[in-house]
Chain A
C-alpha cells in the first residue's frame, strides 16, 4: 500500500500536470469556407495529421504541427472537387501536402494566438491561428480558426485569380478531439 502511494506520487511528479502531448482522435475536422459567384460553400479535408502539444499555463513549450493531404479535399460538388487538385488550385501532384508548424504562442487579451508558418503549394508564409482549448487531463478539444488570402498561396492561379467570381478570402477552421498520449 505504501509502495503504491509512493509510486503514484513519484508518477505524478515525473509527469508534471502538463500532460501536454495529444493524439488527434475520431470526430476531428479540418474545414474551410469560401464563396463562388456570391454563394458560400464549405469544404473539408478528409485526411490530415496533427501533433499537438499544448498547455495553457506553459505556452512556451506548446507546439502544433499539422500535415494536410490536399488530395482529400471535398466540397460537396463533383466538378469543384475535380478541379481543386489541378495545377491551378492545389496542384497536388507537385505539392501533395500542406503543413502548418507553430513558431510561438502568445496571449492576446483573453485569447491565445498560435503564430506559425503555413506551407501550401510551394509558398511558406506566416499565419496566425486563434486558439480555443477546452478540457483537462485525458480528453480535450482544440478549435483553431484563421482567414487566409488564397492568392497569397497561388490557389486559383491564372484566370481563376479573378476574385469577383471566387472570393479572395478563405476561412479555415479546425476542430480537434484530443486524447492525451
Chain B
C-alpha cells in the first residue's frame, strides 16, 4: 500500500490519520459523556485526565494531518451528483474545524479554570489564559454545544459513507478502509 494517496484511493498515512482520529474522537466523546456524571473522586479526575490527553492527541494529529495534506494529493471523487459532492466536502470542512475547535475549547476551559494539563502523565502543557470564571463558562458552553453539532455532522459523514457503500455501491468507503480492496468497475464503466 502506498504511503501517499493515489487517484483511486487514500494512502496509508491519510488512512492512519483518519482512523486514529476517528477512534480518538469516539473515545473522547464517550469519556466526555460519562465523566461529568461521575462522583467526585480520583477516578473522576483520572477519566478527565484521559479525556484531556486524548483531546491533546487529536489536536496534535490534526496539525500533522493538515501538514500532510499539503504534500499529499486527494483521490478523485467517486461519480456522484453535484449536491452530494458539495455536501460531502462541506461535512469534511466542518469536521476539520471541529478537530481544531473541540480540543482548543477544552484547553481554554481547562486553563480558565486553573486546572493542570498533563498528557498521559508524561508532561505538562501550559495554560492558554489565566484564571477567568467568565471565560471558563463560555469555553465549556462552546465545548458542549460543539460536541452535539459534531455528533450530528458525524452522523452525516458516516451515513454518507455507508450510503455510498450500500446503495451507490461505489468505492467511497472502500478506498478509506485500512485493508479495503476496491470494487471492480461495473460493466460498461471505464477501468
Residues of A in contact with B (beta carbons under 8 Å apart): 36-39, 76-77, 83, 159-160, 162, 164-165
Contact = CB atoms under 8 A, between A and B. Distances in A.
Interface of B: 40-43, 45-46, 49, 114-118, 121, 123-124
A161 to B, nearest CB: 9
Nearest to A161: B42
Contacts of B46: 165
A83 B39 CA distance: 13
A37 B116 CA distance: 6
Contact of A38 (B41, B42, B118): B118
A162 B49 contact: no
Contacts, number: 31
B116 A38 contact: yes
Contacts of B116: 36-39
12 contacts: A36-B116, A37-B115, A38-B116, A38-B123, A38-B124, A39-B118, A39-B124, A77-B114, A83-B40, A160-B42, A165-B42, A165-B121
A29 to B, nearest CB: 22
Nearest to B124: A38
Given A37-B115, A39-B116, 18 more contacts: A36-B116, A37-B45, A37-B49, A37-B116, A37-B118, A37-B121, A37-B124, A38-B118, A38-B124, A39-B118, A76-B114, A159-B42, A159-B43, A162-B42, A165-B42, A165-B45, A165-B46, A165-B49
Nearest to A156: B42
Contacts of B115: 37
A76 to B, nearest CB: 8
Contacts of B49: 37, 165
A159 B40 CA distance: 12
B114 A164 contact: no
A78 B50 CA distance: 23
Contacts of A162: 42
Contact of B41 (A37, A39, A159, A164): A159
A77 B114 CA distance: 8
A39 to B, nearest CB: 4
A37 B114 CA distance: 12
Contacts of A160: 42
B33 to A, nearest CB: 21
A128 to B, nearest CB: 31
A162 B114 CA distance: 22
A38 B121 CA distance: 7
Contacts of A165: 42, 45-46, 49, 121
Nearest to A79: B40
Nearest to B42: A159
A77 B45 CA distance: 15
A165 B121 CA distance: 8
A15 B46 CA distance: 60
